[in-house]
Structure 1
Amino acid sequence: MSSKYVSHDVLPADEPLLSLPEAAERLGVVVTKVMDLLNDHKIIAVQRDGVRYVPVAFFSTKKENTARFIPGVIALLSDGGYSDEEILAFLFTEDDTLPGRPIDALHGQLAREVMRRAQAMAV
């Protein structure tokens, strides 16, 4: 499998994940559209037991799309030289100054703060 489509699994073992077909179903699209999102680096997949998964937290609570700020943070950090593993570690690691995890803050009022931090990190 191409590393372009899958990252080393650096997520907590209990992090909720969706297989690519499950992600497609959640988005209401065909699985090739999810592959397009991965190829376009809008989302990042991890591999567990030979299966590719996408974190549930990448999706909005409305279910029909990815969370608004996720692709932007991925792009900012990727352009700044961060690997997919480093991006996932940043997003899914508790940060007492937020408080909570950046991935969770991207779904609420602290989304712009996470974007600001990602931009500062990428410089």
Structure 2
Amino acid sequence: MWEIGTVTPIDRDTDELVGEWLTLREAATALNVSPNRVRQMIRDHKLLGALREGELSIPAAFIVDGHTPKGLQGALTLLADSGFTPEQALRWMFTPDDSLPGTPIEAIRANRGTEVRRRAQALLL
């Protein structure tokens, strides 16, 4: 499992794969919480954050209508338990999977989190 609260710089490919990002303050505003609460959510595997150009950022897809989508935390926890680094977890969440179809984050946002967790859990085997 990655160290609690780990936030690391990401490479350009991962940055482009994720697409739209929110700064720490933008994410806090979108969730109607303090920036410190967003940091706690990262530590609790409810969100993933990354350093982009020296600033903590969160994928915009991880916030829907002021909340994190149901199933996101379970998937992130399973990925951490599988030994994925935060960057590897981001890449996995945003890489298309023909068996879903689409990306795992798209499936989670479409309330198909169980399918995503099954695939993440298979990574533990």
Using the size of structure 2 for normalisation, the TM-score is: 0.86
- Relative to structure 1, the CA distance from residue 56 to residue 97 in structure 2 (aligned partners, 3 Å threshold; closer, same or farther) is same
1:37 CA displacement: 0.5
Q: Aligned to 2:47, which of 39, 43, 48?
A: 43
CA contact under 8 A between 2:4 and 2:44: conserved in structure 1? Answer: no
Aligned mates of 2:109, 2:18 — CA distance in 1: 19
Aligned mates of 2:55, 2:96 — CA distance in 1: 26
Aligned mates of 1:103, 1:93 — CA distance in 2: 9
Q: Aligned to 1:108, which of 103, 107, 110?
A: 110
Q: How high is the sequence identity, in percent, across the aligned residues?
A: 35
Ranges of 4+ aligned residues in structure 1 off by more than 2 Å: 2-5
- Deviation per residue, 1:29-61 (Å, 9 max, x gap): 11111011112222111111111100011112x
Using the size of structure 1 for normalisation, the TM-score is: 0.87
1:54 maps onto 2:55 in alignment? no
Tell me which of the two structures has the higher relative contact order, counting C-alpha pairs closer than 8 angstroms and 6 or more residues apart. Answer: 2
Alignment RMSD (CA, Å): 1.9
Gaps of at least 5 residues in structure 2 are none
- How many residue pairs get aligned? The number is 120
Gaps of at least 5 residues in structure 1 are none
- 1:1-12 correspondence runs (5 A): 4-9=5-10, 10-12=14-16
